[in-house]
Amino acid sequence: MDKFFNEINKYVISILLFLGGFGFLAKYLSGDELESQPTAMLLASLAMILVGVLAMPVVLERLNQTMYRVLLLVAGLSAVGLAYSVFYSVDEEISFQATKKRVNATTIQRLKDIRAAQESHLSVYGTFAETFDSLIQFVQEPVVPVEFNMGSFHDTLPEAKSREEGYVLTRDQIAEVAEGEGLTEQGLLDLIMEDASPYKVRDTLFTTFYAENFAPEVRKAQRLAQVSLDSLPFNPYTGERFVMKTGAVEVGRVWQPTILVQDPSPFGRDKVKKDTLRFGSLSEAHRDGNWRN
């Protein structure tokens, strides 16, 4: 029995190298057309198997000094080559991930802009725009309500009393009331703003979604990239049109509109599974994006 274990011990290094080599080889061969493994894994597995063979006592006994030196030189050069390959792979992966992060961030922002416009369309009309052409038309129409409030109510003249006595004005009434008070329009507005007048302004104005969200000064203040309506439907990296679908789903016996917008060509390596950036769902009434930030 001791003799048996002594013999086995001579092959421990070879056995471990075989297990590691064949394990990496199996992992490499398991890659499919969507999720392939790097070539460095194949080379490393073959190198481990080869070294395992050379480390077997039965092989070492047959090698003379010259052959041993040649194999040692080959093994050394192979090690240097593999080390460079691993370093290059790591460096290239870091560069690739940085590029992927930058490209995805641009794509995600474009999807967020589309979602914001669609959510505004939903709040105004109760439905999502079915096409990008109708969405872009909506973005430019002055149909988005904006509350215009100026001046505050107080205990001595609450809102109900102010309305009863005609002190609550719309924006269009300012000029006429100012003239009757012997003031300029801006002068009356200044008094109302400072709560130095009994008049208050409560009105709903209508503006465009573009003016409120996509105008150059708005985007600059938000530190976001400028928006071109002509390019809104397209992926900023590939130039391909986003896929947009709308539908409806029943939630609590009430039909809710649904939307799904996704990138047709996600960024990534060839033959590697990619995550398709998208927001919304056709089977659920939500507009969440599948990105992490």
**287 neighbors 111 (Cβ within 8 angstroms):** no
Residue 281's CB is within 10 A of a number of other CB atoms, namely 17
Per-residue model confidence (pLDDT) at position 10 = 66
Average pLDDT of the chain?
A: 83
pLDDT at 85 over 70: no
Q: pLDDT per residue over 23-42, tens digit each? A: 767 766 775 444 455 666 66
Query: 257's torsion region: left (phi>0), alpha (psi -120 to 50) or beta?
Result: beta
Going through the chain in order, the beta strands assigned E by DSSP cover 144-150, 168-169, 200-207, 243-251, 254-262, 278-281
Per-residue model confidence (pLDDT) at position 268 = 73
Per-residue model confidence (pLDDT) at position 62 = 72
Specify the DSSP class assigned to residue 29: H
pLDDT at 1 over 70: no
CA–CA dist 126, 103 (Å, integer): 33
**282 neighbors 258 (Cβ within 8 angstroms):** yes
CA–CA dist 210, 137 (Å, integer): 10
pLDDT at 142 over 90: yes
Q: pLDDT per residue over 227-252, tens digit each? A: 999 999 999 988 999 999 999 999 98
Burial class (CB in 10 A: 0-12, 13-18, 19+), 178: buried
CA–CA dist 117, 219 (Å, integer): 14
Strand order in the sheet with 254-262: 243-251, 254-262, 278-281
Confidence of residue 83 (pLDDT cuts 50, 70, 90): low
Query: Who contacts 30 (Cβ-Cβ below 8 Å, separation ≥6)?
Result: 37
- Contacts of residues 9-18 at CB distance under 8 Å and 24 or more positions apart, as own/partner, are 10/57, 11/56, 11/57, 13/52, 13/55, 14/52, 14/53, 14/55, 14/56, 15/52, 16/52, 17/48, 17/49, 17/51, 17/52, 17/55, 18/48, 18/49, 18/52
Q: pLDDT per residue over 39-72, tens digit each? A: 666 676 777 777 777 667 767 667 676 776 676 6
Residue 65's CB is within 10 A of a number of other CB atoms, namely 7
Per-residue model confidence (pLDDT) at position 40 = 63
**202 neighbors 172 (Cβ within 8 angstroms):** no
Strands 168-169 and 200-207: parallel
More confident call, 52 vs 107? 107
Per-residue model confidence (pLDDT) at position 155 = 81
DSSP state string for 39-107: HHHHHHHHHHHHHHHHTSHHHHTT--HHHHHHHHHHHHHHHHHHHHHHHHHHHHHHHHHHHHHHHHHHH
More confident call, 39 vs 103? 103
Q: pLDDT per residue over 189-232, tens digit each? A: 999 999 999 999 999 989 999 999 999 999 999 999 999 999 99
Confidence of residue 110 (pLDDT cuts 50, 70, 90): very high
* Least confident range of 13-17, 77-81, 84-88, 269-273: 84-88
Assigned token pair, 219: 């985007």
